[in-house]
Chain A
Amino acid sequence: MLARLRSGLHWTDSLTAHRVRRFPEMTEPGVLQEGSPSSTARLPPDFPASPSLSTASVLELAALAGIPVDDEAMALRIAVGAGAAVTAVAAARAALQAAGALDDALLGGEAADHLALLESLAGDGAR
């Protein structure tokens, strides 16, 4: 599976092309944080395309949170930007699962154990 991942599609090549074709304004840094959906992030070939929310869903979520979103164009940008990140999480989960690394997900460490794990992996820093 990992080999498949490594040799998989350059998924945002097609995603970016889709954006540029349909939403040329997306080529502004408007939806970019410290970087954008990477052009080299890889998904398994059979992985579903980016599951972006609809603009209506984004507007409903915004209303629920009380955070103003001006119009559908802004909602669309939010949906696409978030969709790429959501897809990446799903891809990473799938890859780890295929490698058997998520077998003990319910018994594994908490997200908050990150610092403790860093400390345990420190080794001899003065080597």
Chain B
Amino acid sequence: MSIPAVVDPCDLSLIEAAARLREGRLTSTALTESVLARAAWAQARTNCFLRLDAEAARRAAALADERLAAARAAGVDLAASLPLLGVPLAHKDMFVGTGSSAGAAGGLLPSCGSRVREVVALLAAERHGAGVVAHPAAATVLARLEAAGAQAIGALNMAEFALGATGHNAAFGDCRNAWQPEFVAGGSSSGSGAAVACGATALSIGSDTGGSVRIPAAANGVLGLKPTYGLLPRTGSMQLSPSIDTLGPIAHSVADLAAVLQIIAGADGSDALASRRVPPDYSASLERGIEGLRIGVPRNHFFDVATPEVRAAMERCLAALEGAGARIVEVTVPDAAPLAELSRAVVYFEATALHAPQLRAEAGRYTPQVRLRASTGLAIPGTVYLEALRLRLPLLGRFVREVFDRCDVLHTPTLPISVPRRDETDVGAGSGLWEILAKLVHCTAPFNYLGLPAIAVPAGLDARGLPLSAQFVARPFAEATLLRVAAVQQRLLPMPRASGSRHAS
């Protein structure tokens, strides 16, 4: 008779933990204590948290336990009304708090990974206190998770103002890779990737403007979903480039991504650029398999700079998916290289416009490299910016027609290279830095410009023991298809956990 392995509550998937809470097999207090203990380990290892309010988290857990017990006593099933009751979560520190969440204990306004925000938050608090201006609207995605019963217990590290793909942060300290801390966590949702990988939160909401959900998910060996532009309302979230910004979840489990996407997707009436399409049932098709699904492998661009190790990993993925019934087809994609550059024209211009007030008032509080990035739009003419936006329409139409008439999902690496070290991607690094940073977004940024949905799925470990990741891309609003493929890959190529190393460290 085998002895079942003891699983820490914080290592349960989100929906498994929530189910156990409802059934009385786990208490929110026990889950929260497990999460807090893991968070302490994760923080020492990766510096993934910027704020964590343990006492508020314990109070919220006790309250949730009372509600869970009362519901059980009354025979009320909370699965539909409060599916996440009692589950502690932590998110990228870029969302306006709801006011009731423990994570907002340090203030309603997020730091956005920058010291600049300390001044902004103080000034805002004064104005709010004096009744001069109303509090900003809480983030819709956090409010929806809270309405489902989840409790935000902390805020996670990120690249300053989301302007960086590696996880370096000179203001609050770098966020480090969950597997090997001398390597980058990826960015800009660096804390989200590292915290999920460490088991300090089962799921985390981040944002993706050039790969900022998918890159840290890939670097830390977890899943990251960048939904179609407009699927998730961005009310109450930090803007970097409103024409391109997308929020997205990072998690260990595809089922968790599907469940949470169901909760947070859909227009909120405040974000004018949120789609009013009714989201489908994302969980319903997860078990359907991929028999007959056409997986497109691009002949051009996406593998141009891929290392042999990455290519081999992608081939293993495709072989597994083909074995599960998928049809692998080669496709030639419209030239994707300019798409990333077009995206930069838009992002630079919009970022500078958004940061202009802060740059005028608090330029010295930016870290130098981020200040430079935030100022680059100064040199982009308005005509060029608008042209970059207008060009998007014919380019999107052509890309979708030429690619998704031939396949259902496109398969690429998420990162075409191995996860780089922190020192080789930091300020002052050698001449190879430029190329490394370009390669980090080589496969992700084109889809930000187009607005297409994409998911990063773990694809094993490289020779150094660092994660590899495959990316799948689909037609607009075909997130259900992406999740279905990811579920199959996750089942066929299960990924070990970064937190498995904690007993040895």
Contact = CB atoms under 8 A, between A and B. Distances in A.
B387 interface: yes
A38 B342 contact: no
Interface string A18-39: 0110001011111111111111
A105 B396 contact: no
Interface residues of B, number: 95
A84 B396 CA distance: 21
A42 B253 CA distance: 38
Interface string B301-314: 10011000000000
B376 A28 contact: no
Given A29-B437, A38-B438, A88 B347 contact: no
Classify the secondary structure of A's interface with B: helix
A121 B400 CA distance: 7
B481 A127 contact: yes
Contact of A95 (B335, B341, B479): B335
Interface residues of A, number: 73
B413 to A, nearest CB: 14
Contacts of A27: 429-431, 433-434
Nearest to A42: B337
A68 B394 contact: no
A34 B163 contact: yes
Interface in B197-236: 209-212, 228-230
A26 to B, nearest CB: 8
Contacts of B211: 34-35
Given A35-B441, A74-B372, A127-B481, A41 B338 contact: yes
A2 B438 CA distance: 23
B285 A33 contact: no
A33 B230 CA distance: 23
Interface of A: 2, 5-6, 16, 19-20, 24, 26-42, 52-53, 57-58, 61-62, 65-69, 74, 77-79, 81-93, 95-96, 101-102, 105, 108-111, 113-115, 117-119, 121-123, 125-127
Interface of B: 163-166, 168, 187-188, 209-212, 228-230, 243, 273, 275, 277, 280, 285, 293, 300-301, 304-305, 335, 337-338, 340-342, 344-345, 347-348, 351-352, 356, 359-360, 363, 368-369, 372-373, 375-381, 384, 386-398, 400, 404, 408, 425-431, 433-435, 437-442, 445, 451, 474-481
